[in-house]
Amino acid sequence: MRIAIYARVSSDDQAERGTIENQLEFARKYCDLHQLEIQDWYKDDGVTGTIPLEERPEGERLLDDARPL
């Protein structure tokens, strides 16, 4: 199974406080605990959750990468 990790924070303040790094670290630890291999990491700093995933820079890349070849 291929695992993709996506993290997002909506404000620059959250990004500066390291919130996104906390999300990524939690996901990494979870995958390590369950012996899951992470295929790629995706993170959108300062992107509001009201924007659809496919319109976010890393969200779009995640969806493109997930499409079958």
Instruction: Express as a percent the part of the chain with pLDDT over 90.
Output: 67
Domain boundaries, the chain: 3-66
Paired tokens of 24: 């990524």
Radius of gyration in angstroms for the set of CA atoms belonging to the chain, rounded to a whole number: 13
d(CA 36, CA 38): 6
Averaged pLDDT, 8-26: 81
pLDDT for 12 equals: 67
Closest residue by Cα to residue 44 from 64, 67, 61, 65: 61
Residues designated catalytic = 10
Domain 3-66: CATH superfamily, name plus number: Resolvase, N-terminal catalytic domain (3.40.50.1390)
pLDDT tens for 30-40 read 999 999 999 99
pLDDT in tens, 42-68: 999 889 899 999 999 999 999 999 998
Residue type, 4: A
